[in-house]
Amino acid sequence: MRGTASAMQGMKPGFASFVGTMSLLGVFSGCAVGPDFKRPEAAVAREWRTQGDPRLSTQAAVDTQWWKSFGDPSLDRLVELAARQNLPLQISGLRIVEARAQLAILTGRQYPQAQALVGSAAAVGRSENSAAANPIDFNLGSIDRHFLEYQLGFDALWEVDFWGKYRRGVESGTAGLLASVADYQSSLVSLTAEVARTYVLVRTFEVLIEQARENVRLQEEGFRIAESRFSNGVTSELDVTQAATLLESTRATIPQLEAGLEQARNAMSTLLGQPTGEVEALLAGPKQIPVAPATVAVGMPAEILRRRPDVRSAELYAAAQCARIGIAEAELYPSFSLFGTVGLQASTSAAASGNLFSLGSLFYSVGPRIVFPFLNYGRLKNGVRVEDARFQQLLVNYRNTVLKAAQEVADALAGFIHAQQAMTFQQAAVKSAQRSVELALVQYREGAVDYQRVLDAQRSLLEQQNNLAQTSSNIATNLVALYKALGGGWEVRRDQPIVPEPMQAEMEQRTHWGDMLSKPRKQETKTVSQPVKP
């Protein structure tokens, strides 16, 4: 439908009818094809197999700052620094920013999809023989043969979202944004656990090194006794060489342990986003393995569906894919669009006013467009099947994620409880080994036993001490794994910036971001599993 200002009055009824029809289409565009997402069922145990153990509490909620239960200020500081400086975590935060921008794009598609301010100027000329070419135009010779035409206008195209294609797009983008937030929280949980695990490893190496040095001092005493007895002709040189062998063997373990300690410190530096060699000052506290609290809150199995970010992420990715089925299905149906142009046109021809901004130069063009996907229906139908197959994969992945989450909790519980049970026996073994060394040395001085008894006792002491340190490390490491499996720790950063301020300034200098670099918004921090509707 096209007209000028002079023709508008007579065409008002038709234009009004057209606008009314398109408005009616807009009213009925509230429907959306495709399935609505529902949380899939997942098998979850009613209680943990270890429920009833006095060290575990299923009544209390999982501690959101679980690393503080070790009572180690150095660990607390390291966790805080890692949350602020870790580079992979910053990448996860930037993915939230990317998802926010992507959602804004999808939201904008609900409005006029193409719009432009256009202008043109053209020189028009007619030849002297135009009259012969146009015998019907008897007055051609009296008009201008050379003139300019000007046009300035605004074009717009709006596809009515009759089948909910764009609303499903916003729904998918919203779920995708929430999934990126859950991924960020999952990265934070993993980072906190890795910092704690690495810290336990550092302290374990420090304890093992100190124990090795203490055993070197003890074995040096045995070596001196053997040398003295050999010098006095009381025993053979074999005792001396055996004592030297054990002593040097123990000394040789120290550089290996120091290498492991250095590597653990380097790993901690990377977690903190720092160059290697700068973490020693942060590890200057007591060189002891963190001790687990007397009671650990584990909650109930069903709580992992609400707490674990990776479970929520798996569900939200499935929700986003479910909406894409609706987008693909909408392509099977006719699309209804409204296009229009409004502008000004003028000419330097004598027959025209020549004034671009006069009322008579106003023109408009408006009309509908309906597209039926007849020829590519088969391709579009298979597109729906592709999206549905992907959705089913994500449903299975969600169920598998829940099962793996429950397994991780059960494994960590088993490791934690059994390591604590072993601790009592291992402490007794160390005490017995220490007493054996004392008795063996006394009896060797008195000539009651040969040096082999001393060697055996000293080897056993070092072995039992190392086992005790490893058991202590296992308790702490399994507790860290348990808290990670329970999904705790991400809540403390809920109101913190997802992008560091220096990085925000750098990005703002390149591109205007508005409020997209801000801390997580209220609708992005919901712990419920259902995705937020746009």
Instruction: Catalogue all structural domains in the chain, each as residue range(s) with its CATH number.
Output: 36-110+164-334+389-428+475-524 (1.20.1600.10), 114-160+335-371 (2.20.200.10)
Name the residue among 239, 264, 291 with its Cα closest to residue 471: 291
Residue 324 Cα distances to 39, 78, 378, 385, angstroms:
16, 42, 18, 11
CA angle, corner 100, sides to 98 and 101, nearest 5? 65
Lowest mean pLDDT among 144-158, 294-308, 345-359, 449-463: 345-359
Question: Quick one: pLDDT at residue 514?
Answer: 87
Question: Quick one: pLDDT at residue 525?
Answer: 65
Amino acid at 360: G
Asked whether the predicted pLDDT for residue 172 surpasses 70, the reply is yes
Rounded to two decimals, what is the model's pTM? 0.83
In which order are the strands placed within the sheet that holds 335-347?
A: 2-4, 362-371, 335-347, 146-160, 114-125
Length of the chain measured in residues:
534
213: tokens are 């040095």
Find out whether 89 and 187 touch, Cβ atoms under 8 Å.
yes
76 in helix, strand or coil?
helix
Name the residue among 14, 75, 32 with its Cα closest to residue 290: 75
* Stronger pLDDT, 252 or 120, i.e. the higher one: 252
**Averaged over 152-168, what is the pLDDT?**
85
362: tokens are 């106003």
* Stronger pLDDT, 399 or 155, i.e. the higher one: 399
Question: Quick one: pLDDT at residue 531?
Answer: 43
Range with the largest mean pLDDT of 120-124, 248-252, 339-343: 248-252
Asked whether the predicted pLDDT for residue 202 surpasses 60, the reply is yes
Amino acid at 316: L
Mean pLDDT for all residues in the chain: 84
**Averaged over 390-406, what is the pLDDT?**
95
Residue 134: pLDDT band (50, 70, 90) is low
Name the residue among 1, 211, 165, 197 with its Cα closest to residue 82: 197
Question: Quick one: pLDDT at residue 26?
Answer: 52
**Averaged over 238-251, what is the pLDDT?**
94
Question: Quick one: pLDDT at residue 529?
Answer: 46
Question: Quick one: pLDDT at residue 532?
Answer: 41
**Averaged over 265-282, what is the pLDDT?**
92
- H/E element, 160: strand 146-160
Lowest mean pLDDT among 174-183, 256-265, 392-401, 498-507: 498-507
Question: Quick one: pLDDT at residue 526?
Answer: 59
* Stronger pLDDT, 341 or 133, i.e. the higher one: 341
Q: CA-to-CA distance for 412 and 474, rounded, in angstroms?
A: 10
CA-CA-CA-CA torsion sign (433, 436, 438, 444): negative
